[in-house]
Structure 1
Amino acid sequence: MFGLTEEEMNLYRDLAQDFAVMDVTPKIKKDAQFITPVIIQDNEHVPDLVFLRQLLTDLETIITLTTTNMAYEYAYLQCETELSENEIIQRLHNKYEDYLIKNFIKYGIAFTEDVITEIVGEIILELPYLYISVIQDESFDEDEFLENKLAAYNDYLNENFSGLYDDFSEDEEDGEE
């Protein structure tokens, strides 16, 4: 399926899920501010930890499902279509931004627009690496594959994240003087 053996597909799924749980979700949780109900405990208002735990579980579930679905679709688009890498990236970005928004609303998770773009961007940038890490064909040239995709990912970063690090580069220049 998708040019991968059953064993490669299982590994691909596992790697995508591990990436979602171990890399993307913690990064999003670290920077997030959560809105939770409060309960009164020992005459103090404290966050409802049961609600918060469920919220974090729901967040991890959504990110894991998104990553896995994107990874499978990426493999399909690589093997079964003639789309350019730029077209694949744009298609996945648009589709899974909408997918995330719908799921965040479905699960009752408050969010900002930038977190959606950040999640989708993190996943998209990892997809080629996940894909090549499972291909066991000796004739497959991983370096050539990645090099052929590089321009598309540079374009993607410039289009979606160009202003993200502007302040950092200005600080860096100030520090060099």
Structure 2
Amino acid sequence: MTGGTEVRRAVPGDASAMARVHVASWRSTYRGLVPDVVLDDPDFVARRTDFWTAALTDERFAANRVAVAEHAGDVVGVAMSGPVTDRGPGTVQLYVLYLLDGHHGSGAGSALLDAVLDSGSDAVLWVADPNPRAQAFYRKHGFAFDGTEQVDGGVRERRMTRSGRSAA
């Protein structure tokens, strides 16, 4: 528990709340990076609900770790990690970590990260660029850019890696 926020394993009943957090975070973070037509799509929340339902119930995602942060009974953050799917470094990949704006700096993001990544494991993630707040957060948690970049959906992303042996 951090500042009145509790982090726990996500369950299928959380999918719609997780989708709302996911979409709200995208809209506040990626406006100007992701086309408005994507962010303002009226079906965006429904599609994210389907995604989270699958992530929490489909056997394809059984090896993933999914957590939520709750504050005053409301889901305010989500995180998901799982096996690395590309040939990049690391044994586990952070796929998702989103926190509603009012909860940045509360410790909930760190608690979510700890819930889905073991400090003893090497890890990799992709972060949108520019996204200075997220990049600073990941650097604080031992991640560093490895020089690899890609463009996904028109958004430039940079890969960050962390060696579990040197993580704090």
TM-score by length of 2: 0.32
Whichever structure has more strand as a proportion of its residues is 2
Query: Which structure has the higher relative contact order (CA within 8 Å, separation 6+)?
Result: 1
Largest Rg, 1 or 2: 1
TM-score by length of 1: 0.31
Whichever structure has more helix as a proportion of its residues is 1
